[in-house]
Amino acid sequence: MTQLSDYHRDRIQAVLSASPLVPVIAINEPEDAIPLCRALVDGGIKVLEITLRTEHGVRAIEQVRKAIPEAWVGAGTVTSIAQYRQVEAAGAQFVITPGVTEAILEFALTSEAPLLPGVATVSELMLGYSLGYREFKFFPAEVSGGMPALKAFRGPFPDVTFCPTGGINQDTARDYLALPNVAAVGGSWLTPAEAIQRREWKVITEVARASLDQLR
């Protein structure tokens, strides 16, 4: 059975170690992509997860990769191999899925863009684990057991690291990051909708900076 390569694991580990906070970014207006992502980077965020929750995601990845080369730019909410190929062609440096299928896990083994697969259960984790995956997104974190679940996962899987996402906010991020098997935390609080609608980019920068400061 083909196993995940050291190259892929090293790349995902580099992404997770680059920033303790990973913003979940949905682009509703194409012209917002670069200034929004620039505002996050100005606030100290080094990893950008641009989701495919809107039709502008793939194009935004391509644009932001060129405009902000100092950041890690990846694709989130990838749910099919067709989408995986699209974001890879757009230059995504990593891919995050909300859940797992055997087909996506196997496709990612030889993909240029490494995968952070989403899991909510031990069975899903074991599916990825059997192929060599040791880094996972835990989603939706809060409704799937939150911190108690992550503590329970550590017993049978002490070598697995998570990036929990879903229901986490600025006030709870620090508690999640205190867990030994959590490398980073994802969240949409870093991209408040009202500030984006008003194009108040300085507000986004301040939210990012304040969120990082709260972790110190």
> Catalytic amino acids?
49, 137
CB atoms within 10 A of CB 213: 10
Spatial distance between the Cα atoms of 12 and 116, rounded to a whole number of angstroms = 7
CA distance 194 to 87: 27
Alpha-carbon distance of 138 to 9, in angstroms, equals 17
Q: Contact 204/196 with Cβ under 8 angstroms?
A: yes
CA angle in degrees (0–180, nearest 5) for 74-79-186: 45
Tokens at 36, concatenated: 């929004």
Q: Which of 206, 164, 212 is nearest to 187 (CA)?
A: 164
* Nearest 10 degrees: Cα torsion 39, 147, 155, 153: -70
